[in-house]
């Protein structure tokens, strides 16, 4: 298993579309496993800079959609 930050597109019940950052988890074979809200804190400014770098890299990747992930059981 491994993870990275990605942007995920969602559509709410009214049809409005929104995007959010997430920590995305992958199986060893690279298939999507799941996601959750990212931790957005650090003990120091260098950690915040590293987080900002990860989030910026996420915007350069293809946007995922909520339907790309397996259904929760």
Mean predicted confidence (pLDDT) in 15-32: 96
Secondary structure (H, E, C), the chain: CEEEEEEEEEECCCCCEEEEEEEEEECCCCCEEEEECCCCCCCCHHHHHHHHHHHHHHHCCCCEEHHHCCCCC
**pLDDT tier at 36 (50, 70, 90 boundaries)?**
very high
Q: Would you state the pLDDT for residue 31?
A: 95
CA distances, 73 to each of 11, 34, 37, 38 (Å) = 21, 12, 19, 22
Q: Would you state the pLDDT for residue 70?
A: 87
The pLDDT of residue 72 is above 90: no
* Residue from 10, 12, 32 nearest 21 by CA: 10
The pLDDT of residue 35 is above 70: yes
Q: Is residue 26 within 8 Å of residue 35, measured between CB atoms?
A: no
The pLDDT of residue 42 is above 60: yes
Q: Would you state the pLDDT for residue 73?
A: 43
């Amino acid at each position: 298993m491994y993870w990275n930050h990605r942007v995920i597109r969602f559509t709410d019940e009214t049809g409005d579309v929104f995007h959010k950052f997430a920590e995305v988890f992958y199986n060893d074979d690279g298939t999507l496993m799941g996601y959750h809200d990212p931790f957005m804190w650090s003990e120091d400014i260098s950690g915040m800079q590293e987080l900002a770098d990860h989030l910026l890299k996420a915007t350069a990747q293809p946007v995922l959609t909520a339907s790309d992930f397996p259904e929760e059981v």
